[in-house]
Amino acid sequence: MTSDILIIGAGVAGLYTALKMAPRPVTIITARPLGEGGSTPWAQGGMAAAIGDDDTPNLHFADTMEAGGGLVDPEAASLLVDGGAAAVEDLAHYGVEFDRDADGALKLGREAAHCRNRIVHAAGDQAGAAIMAALIAAARAADHITILERIVVEDLLTDDHGAVGGALIYDVKAGERAVFDASETVMATGGLGGLYAVTTNPTPAQGHGLAFAARAGAIIRDPEFVQFHPTALDIGADPAPLATEALRGAGALLVNADGKRFMEDYHKSLELAPRDIVARAVEAEIVAGRGAFLDAREAIGARFPDAFPTVFASCQKARIDPRKQLMPVAPAAHYHMGGVATDLDGQSSIDGLWAVGEVASTGVHGANRLASNSLLEAVVFGARIADQLREKEPTKRINAGAPADRMDLASKPADPDAMARLRSKMSEGCALNRSREGLLQVIDVIHALNISPFMTSGLKSTLITAELIAQGALMREESRGGHFRTDHPETDEEAFNTEICTTDTYEEDEDGT
C-alpha cells in the first residue's frame, strides 16, 4: 500500500489534520471502526477558548503557563491560546453544535486552574462525541481523504538515512501484514492511560504510537508526565468512568466519609485547585481510609441528568443517584503530557515524521496540562501540520524493509495476563507518588515481561512505552506538576525537559537505571 501522506489515528487530531490538508490527498488508517477505540469521543470537559467578555488570550496564556510548572513553551502556548476563537468557529462550521444560551451566545463553563469561565461544551458533557460526529461526517464526505479502518500499525518504517517512510501494518480483515509506504507520516495515535490499572482512557490507549516513534529514533520529551484525573467514578469498572471536572466547576464538592470538605486541608482553591493537587488529595483521603466522594446534590441536584448525561448514565449503571447520593471517586490515569517532541509545526526530530494531539509534545502542557486545553491543541497544531504539508513536494523514500525483530512477533494485542501485571505495577510504582525504589521495581517487571514467551507485537510496544515513562520518572529527581517523587519532594530551581531517544532508553547505567 502507498500514500503520499499517511495519518495514523482517527481521533480529533487525525481527522482535523486530514481535513485541513485539502486538496492534497491523504490516507487515514485506524485500528478500529471510525469513532471507536479512541479517547476523543469520551471527552466530557470540552474545549478551552478565551472568548468570554471578561476573558483574553493573555489570561488563558497565564493560566496555561502557571499550570505547566515552569515547562510550558511560551511560543507554543501563545499559538494555542490565540487560536481558541478560530478553533471554536471552525468546528462550528464543520457542524459541531456547541451549547448556547437563550440569546445564542456560547455557554462557557469553568474548570480547575482557569481564572475565567472559558470551556465550551456540547450536549452538556458530550463535547468529544459531538466533535467526533461532525469531523467523521466531514472526513467521509471529503474527496481528498481515504479512510482505511481496522488496520493496526505495528511499527514505523525508516530509510537508510533514518527518515520515516511509512508503517508496517496488519490488516485485521485480511489477516495479513503489509508495508505501507508514505513520504510523510503523521502520528495521531492518542494517549496511554491503558498502561495503568485505573484509567479514564479506552482500553486500546496503550501508547503504542510513542513506542513506534521511539524505536524509529525520534526524541521523546518528558514521558514521565502523566496526568491523573482526580475524579473517576470508583465503581469497579475498567476503564473507570470520568466524573468531569465541570461538575466541580458547577459547584460540586469533594467530601470524605465523615462529610468533611477535605480540600480545605490541601489548597486555597479548594475543589478547583490544580489537577495534580486535587488528585493527590483524593488519593491521600482514600489511603487514610476516609474515602473520597463528589457531592453534587445541592449544586446540581435535579439538573444532573440534563446537564451531565454521560456521568448520570455511568452513575445509573452503578445504581447511584447523584441527585440524592454521593459519588465515590478515585484518581485515574487520564492524559499524557509528554510525547514525541515536535517543533511548533508538529515536525518530530526525524525527517518524514510528524505528531499531533496527545502523542505529541508540542510544549503547551509542560508538567501539568490545563484542563480542556487538549482538544484545542489538536485543532491548532493539526492545522499547522496541514499548512506545512499541503504544499510540500513529495519526497521519495526507499524504506530499508520491515524491522526483522517485529516480523518474528505475532500480530496480536498484548497477552491479558501480562497486561494485568504491567498495569498493576505501573499503578503501584509509577503513578501519583513515585520513588527510586518503586520505579526500579516497575522497570524490573517490564524487563521480566520483555522476555515473555507470549511476546506479541502489541506487548512489545506497550513495554517500550511503559519503560519510557518509568525511565523518565527515574531520571527526574525532583517533583514538578504531575510528577511527584516522595524521595525528592522539592522542585529544582531550574526547569528542564527530559529527552530520551531509543539508544538511551536501553543503555543501563552501572547502578541498573
The residue within the footprint of ligand SIN, chosen from 3, 27, 30, 44 (CB under 6 A), is 44
Distance CA 203, CA 238 (A): 8
Distance CA 36, CA 295 (A): 31
Residue whose CB is less far from ligand SIN, 169 or 376: 376
Residue whose CB is less far from ligand SIN, 49 or 157: 49
Residue whose CB is less far from ligand SIN, 154 or 234: 234
Contacts for 400 with CB less than 8 Å, ≥ 6 apart: 157, 158, 159, 160
What is residue 371's DSSP assignment? T
Residues 371-400 within binding reach of ligand SIN (CB under 6 A): 371-372, 374
**Minimum distance, C-beta of residue 175 to ligand SIN, in the bound complex (Å):** 37
Q: Does position 45 bind ligand SIN by CB under 6 A?
A: yes
**Minimum distance, C-beta of residue 338 to ligand SIN, in the bound complex (Å):** 16
The residue within the footprint of ligand SIN, chosen from 147, 188, 218, 246 (CB under 6 A), is 246
Catalytic residue from among 110, 116, 221, 275: 275
For the record, the C-alpha cell of 70 comes out as: 515552569
For the record, the C-alpha cell of 227 comes out as: 496526568
Residue whose CB is less far from ligand SIN, 5 or 247: 247
Of 213, 117, 95, 234, whose CA–CA distance to 164 is shortest? 213
Say how many Å lie between the first and final Cα of the chain, rounded: 41
- For residue 17, count other CB atoms closer than 10 A to its CB: 29
Q: Does position 461 bind ligand SIN by CB under 6 A?
A: no
**Minimum distance, C-beta of residue 247 to ligand SIN, in the bound complex (Å):** 8
- CA 500, 501, 502: angle at the middle one, nearest 5? 125
For the record, the C-alpha cell of 120 comes out as: 465550551
Residue whose CB is less far from ligand SIN, 51 or 376: 376
Catalytic residue status for 275: yes
Q: Does position 192 bind ligand SIN by CB under 6 A?
A: no
In 35-150, where do the E strands start and end? 47-48, 108-109, 119-120, 145-149
For the record, the C-alpha cell of 161 comes out as: 538515512
Q: Does position 245 bind ligand SIN by CB under 6 A?
A: yes
Amino acid at 335: Y
Residues 313-372 within binding reach of ligand SIN (CB under 6 A): 334-335, 371-372
Q: Does position 126 bind ligand SIN by CB under 6 A?
A: no
**Minimum distance, C-beta of residue 342 to ligand SIN, in the bound complex (Å):** 20
- The alpha carbon of 240 is separated from its chain's Cα centroid by a whole number of angstroms, namely 15
Distance CA 19, CA 29 (A): 14
Among 82-90, 138-146, 240-248, 409-417, the segment contacting ligand SIN (CB under 6 A):
240-248
Task: Tell me the three state secondary structure of residue 353.
Answer: strand
**Minimum distance, C-beta of residue 212 to ligand SIN, in the bound complex (Å):** 25
Residue whose CB is less far from ligand SIN, 371 or 414: 371
Active-site residue numbers? 275
Residues found near ligand SIN in the complex (CB under 6 A): 44-45, 244-246, 334-335, 371-372, 374
